[in-house]
């Protein structure tokens, strides 16, 4: 679940860190990490800024949720979709695409809203968000009810890691796995490319 004014930045950064650790464990270097070939990076950055900005604006009452929600999700889908298409060579991003598809599916099935489990919120000590969700304080989230569709794809997974708490969806899990695998795969490809170039230089 997105907190006011932002996205799952902490977990996404943690996923990237896991990818970096795995890459180093497979003997990639920081130089290899710096040379990961990620095309159209602006699309992913733009999507994150757009969604975070609209969530912040909605939580401050600057934009109506019924306008910001569909706008954010449509534009994010377009931007990330383009980024995925441009980086089809990175198979780790396929998990990112799967996660995005799962989140989009449950949101569109619930008329632009991501249902959130009240039970999961209680488990991680975030019950104070329940009244806010009842008032639809941001562009997307609302409490799960009997009428919620595809609830198993909604925010129903409680997370408590090293003091960090949140409630996330299966799609978020796929996204985090995809981020870690993309960093690992990209670094290893950069390593192989650098080694191939070095071998060519030696022949000359």
- Chunked mean pLDDT (size 10), the chain, 204 residues: 54 88 94 91 86 73 71 82 90 91 91 90 91 76 91 94 87 94 93 71 48
CA dist., res. 119 & res. 104, Å (int): 22
pLDDT score of 202: 44
3 falls within a domain: no
Which domain range does residue 150 map to? 9-203
1 falls within a domain: no
Which residues, listed in sequence order, are joined to residue 115 by a DSSP beta bridge? 142
Mention every residue, 6+ apart, whose C-beta is less than 8 A from residue 82. Answer: 40, 43
Q: State the total domains in the chain.
A: 1
Residue 99 · residue 178 · CB < 8 Å: yes
Residue 55 · residue 3 · CB < 8 Å: no
pTM higher than 0.85 = no
pLDDT score of 45: 86
């Amino acid at each position: 679940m997105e907190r006011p004014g932002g996205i799952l930045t902490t977990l996404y950064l943690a996923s990237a860190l896991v990818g970096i650790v795995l890459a180093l464990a497979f003997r990639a270097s920081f130089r290899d990490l710096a040379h990961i070939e990620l095309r159209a990076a602006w699309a992913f950055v733009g999507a994150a800024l757009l969604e975070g900005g609209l969530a912040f604006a909605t939580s401050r009452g600057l934009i109506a949720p019924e306008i910001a929600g569909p706008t954010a999700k449509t534009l994010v889908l377009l931007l990330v979709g383009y980024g995925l298409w441009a980086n089809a060579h990175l198979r780790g991003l396929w998990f990112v695409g799967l996660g995005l598809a799962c989140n989009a599916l449950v949101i569109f099935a619930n008329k632009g809203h991501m249902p959130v489990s009240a039970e999961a919120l209680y488990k991680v000590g975030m019950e104070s968000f329940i009244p806010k969700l009842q008032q639809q304080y941001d562009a997307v989230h609302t409490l799960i009810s009997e009428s919620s569709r595809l609830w198993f794809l909604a925010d129903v997974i409680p997370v408590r890691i090293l003091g960090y708490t949140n409630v996330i969806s299966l799609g978020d899990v796929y996204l985090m796995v995809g981020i870690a695998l993309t960093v690992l795969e990209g670094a290893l490809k950069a390593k192989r490319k650098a080694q191939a170039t070095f071998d060519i230089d030696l022949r000359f």
